[in-house]
Structures are given as structure tokens and as C-alpha cells.
Structure 1
């Protein structure tokens, strides 16, 4: 079980906290349903047991930090502040917890103005980072050793992860779930939360498993779940239709409306994307083709040629 510890500061934004917390809570449910063994426990710590939020709702928190390991995550939600981000400063003890956790191999993340807390702890020096677009210039001014990246949803550099404004904490958390458990699990979490799973704005493209999930067809989502989990295997349209409880014609029509392609074309896209990754890691085209389920490399070469045109 991994701990996700949220460090709460006075006047924090509820969505900064709740968005990321909901992702990890839902991920724990999804992993439990799949019998994956891995799960998450959410903890909330603060200097005082009651923490006022920017929206007026008081929050309860622990005042003693739990013992953390390298697999655990600490997140700092942002707070309401003027454009100078002159909000609350962390205590020396809180800074020490952040620095110590990162020094032992753990990950530290922030949402919105929470990046200023990471900067106070010296964790942004020499690293790429971001924050809300209204606060980026101030972050760069206050922490000149930080490499502030504009107009991206989130950044990740040496286990220091920062996200842009408020709702982008959901994107950051989905990304972390995808990294730890694969894009199929992240897609299920996004589907459960009825959000569009996005990736970082400075990456050339998102995973196909996430890219084609911005629809609300439950039938198509169920078929995608099946394909995502078994895309390297031979999947027959009649079997997919039977499992989803509709005819082959209806499934093909629904899939085309929601995804813009047939189920088997979707499977081919997943295979191609995985094969390209393997080739990029040094595999031969022949071995990559076999690894993703093609009988030989001819089909993979045709798909690669088609994608290049």
C-alpha cells in the first residue's frame, strides 16, 4: 500500500485538494476490483488539526507525519493568494519533511500555487516546474534557479512534479496513476470520474488508451477496457460484441461514433504505438511485431508506413 500524503496549508483551494485526492481514491477502488494487490491510503497533515479552506469549509488534518517510504507520494495543494503568491509559508519542520522524503527517493508534487512551497523547500532549483498561468512570472522571479515552463498542464523532473492551475491537479494525478499502473488503469479512473484524461501539454502525443476516452458511451468503454487489457491477443469482433451485449453492427456503429474507428482498428493503433515504443528502445521491427501480437513484421511495417504518410 502506498501512502499519498496531502500537506494542507491555510486557505487552500478545495479543488486543488479534492481533484487529486479523488483520482487516488478511485484508483484504489479500481486496483482492488482487479485484485492488483497495490492500492493507496490517503493521509492529510497540517501544522494545526483544523485548516481553513479558501472556500470557507474547515478541514481536519493530522499533525504528526506518518513514516514514509520511497514508493509514497507527498502532494501540496495550492492556496488562495494575490498574484504575488504571498500566501502562507511552510514551517521549518514541514520543509524538513519535504526535503527528507525527496532525499530518500520519494516523489513530491504540487498543484497550482503549491509550487511555491516546493520552491521554499529548495526542490525547484535546477528543475523544470510550472504553476497557474497567473503566477508563473512570480514563481520565476522568486526562485530564479527554477526552470519555469509556461503553458503546460504539468511537469516532472527528478521526482518533483508540479501542475498548473487548480483542475490540472486531476491531470497530474491521472498521469502518476498511468506511470505506476499503466494507461488502462488511468483510463478506468478517468472514466469513473467522467473526466477527459489528458497528458502533459509539452509531450508530442498522448497514449492511445487515453486519447480515445473522451466520450460517454458505456458500451464502448467496456469494449475498450477489454481491448486495452488484451490488445496483443487475437480478438474477434463477434466475441467483443457478445461480451458487450450488442450486435456486431451496433458495436461497430457505436465505436465509430465514439472513437472514430472500428474496434479492430483501435486494437491495431494500440499495437502500433506499443511497437513504436519498443523499436525506440532498441528492439528490432521483427521482435516488436511479435511482442505486440503480429504473426510477422509485414503488418507492422504497413501500419508504420501508413502512419508516416
Structure 2
């Protein structure tokens, strides 16, 4: 039996907690032997989403096989937020010193930093606070724009939904990739993502604009990027000429429609390759006729 203890901080984000908790709960249902507990410095813990949670104020006895997870909390900055007593921070440090694993989701990395667990280690957090984390803990090496980082039993993740990826990774390490895949299927989530995948997908990185016609074309490309799409078809969907679409699309996203489609294909192909696919099979799966174009795009990237 491995114990997974979540340390709850006031104003914690529910998904930071619920995502990993669901992974380990599902793993327990599948017979992998996890016992989940929740501790806090007060019995009633308000969440950022308005639901009050109940936790134990006494820590269970932990062994080196056990995991402590600190979910993130709502705050525009890390400084002055996520209040924890020195005794609680010392418990985090002591568990790691005894051979245990300590993990964080989103701003929970700041609690690990205050416990001294980020010094001399690679780590990450949500992209909105990663610069502040680096400034607060200059002895840490903050890795930007990745989903999670593992360094000497200190595991940090980007936040919100990436906590699911972190938990699935830990299950895969202990029980194998097939166990993690089975849990992902049970949870109806996308296949486990690698830690070094970017926090924002290509579909999200180029959506920070207010041009309705371009959004409509992006919606079409997003759902059919593995198909051959002509500029004529895209301009018809947008209700503008091909020249106008190219001009507006490039101004809004920094890419032509073709380059945007290629970026989606490349991102999906990289994911398939990272999970064991060959370049040839990945290229065919995303719509290329062969692997030559994929190799050129990967070399350019």
C-alpha cells in the first residue's frame, strides 16, 4: 500500500487537487494499492471555486514509498500567498529527506521552494508565475513552458490539468505505461503527455486575437488538419477572398493558413513519435504522404 497525501492550502484550485486524486483513486480501484489522505492546517479549507473541503489536521505516518502532493492555490502572485507554518514546511522537507517523493501542482511549487526542496533542482510551474518562481528561488532551475519536471523525487507540474499528466507519469513509473493508459481511458482523458510537451498547444498559442473570420478558419483546420485543405475552401468558410483570408490570418496569428496546419500536424506527429511511433507512421497519421516533409519541418523547428 502506498499512501498519497494531499496538503490542502486555503483557496486551492479544485482541479489541481481533483485531477491527481482521481488518477490515484482510479489506480486503487484497479488494484494498484493506493490509500489517499488529505491534511491541512485547519479542518475546513475553502477552495478557489467556493467549495469548502474537510481535511485532517494530523499527519499520518509516512514511509519512503509514500507521496505528498501540494495542489496550487488562487493568487495573482506567489509572494504573500499560500500561507503555511514552518512546521508544515519542515514536514515536506523531512519526508523528502527520508526518501519520500514530494510533488506540486501549479503554485504549489512555491511551498516546495519555501521548504528548500527546489534549491539546486530543476522545476516548473504555471507559465503565469514561472518568472516569479525563478526570482524567488534563484538557486532553482525553473524550466519554462513544460508540463512537469522530475528531479530527485521532487516533482513539479505546470498546473490545473497538467496535474493529471504528472500523476499518470508517476503511476507509469511504478506500474508501467499500460497501467497509466488504462487509467487515462477510464478517466476519458487524452493519452498521457510527456513532461517536456509545451503547456499551451498550437491550437491555443494562436488564438489570442479577436478576428471572427480567422477563428472560423482555425476551427475548421483544427478539426480537419490531417486532411488536404485548399485555400479556396478555407476562404469560402470565412466568407472572404483567398487574398483577404491570407492577409487577415497572417496578421492575427503570425502564420499563413498552410503553416498553421503544418504546425498542428508537426505537434501531433511529435506526440506520436514520443510514444513510440516511427517517423513514417507518424507522418502518415497526420496527413503527410511520406516522412520527408515531416523531417523538414522537424529540422526547421
After TM superposition, the score normalised by the length of structure 1 is: 0.63
- Is 1:119 the counterpart of 2:117? The answer is no
Aligned partners of 1:85 and 1:113 also within 8 Å: no
Alignment match, 2:95: 101
C-alpha separation in 2, matches of 1:10 and 1:4: 19
Aligned partners of 1:174 and 1:197 also within 8 Å: no
The unaligned stretches of length 5 or more in structure 1 are 33-37, 204-268, 273-307
Alignment match, 1:16: 16
* Aligned mate of 1:133, from 112, 127, 139: 127
C-alpha separation in 1, matches of 2:158 and 2:47: 19
Displacement of 1:50 in angstroms is: 0.6
The unaligned stretches of length 5 or more in structure 2 are 198-274, 279-294, 296-301
- Is 1:189 the counterpart of 2:183? The answer is yes
C-alpha separation in 1, matches of 2:94 and 2:192: 31
- What's the Cα RMSD here? 2.2
C-alpha separation in 2, matches of 1:201 and 1:28: 23
C-alpha separation in 2, matches of 1:200 and 1:137: 22
Alignment match, 1:217: none
Secondary structure of 2:69 counterpart: strand
Aligned partners of 2:184 and 2:192 also within 8 Å: no
- Is 1:27 the counterpart of 2:21? The answer is no
Displacement of 1:44 in angstroms is: 0.1
C-alpha separation in 1, matches of 2:117 and 2:166: 18
Displacement of 1:99 in angstroms is: 0.8
Alignment match, 1:3: 3
C-alpha separation in 2, matches of 1:90 and 1:84: 13
Aligned partners of 1:11 and 1:52 also within 8 Å: yes
Alignment match, 1:73: 67
Deviations 1:20-41 (A, max 9, x none): 00000001111x2xxxxx4101
Aligned partners of 2:105 and 2:156 also within 8 Å: yes
Aligned partners of 1:10 and 1:88 also within 8 Å: yes
Deviations 1:58-83 (A, max 9, x none): 00000000000010000000000013
C-alpha separation in 1, matches of 2:13 and 2:71: 7
C-alpha separation in 2, matches of 1:134 and 1:85: 14
C-alpha separation in 2, matches of 1:183 and 1:85: 38
Secondary structure of 1:44 counterpart: strand
Aligned partners of 2:78 and 2:110 also within 8 Å: no
Counterparts of 1:273-292 in structure 2, within 5 Å, are none
Alignment match, 1:229: none
C-alpha separation in 2, matches of 1:187 and 1:165: 21
Counterparts of 1:128-207 in structure 2, within 5 Å, are 128-202=122-196
After TM superposition, the score normalised by the length of structure 2 is: 0.65
C-alpha separation in 2, matches of 1:127 and 1:192: 34
Secondary structure of 1:102 counterpart: helix
C-alpha separation in 2, matches of 1:84 and 1:41: 30
C-alpha separation in 1, matches of 2:21 and 2:156: 15
Alignment match, 1:91: 85
Displacement of 1:118 in angstroms is: 0.2
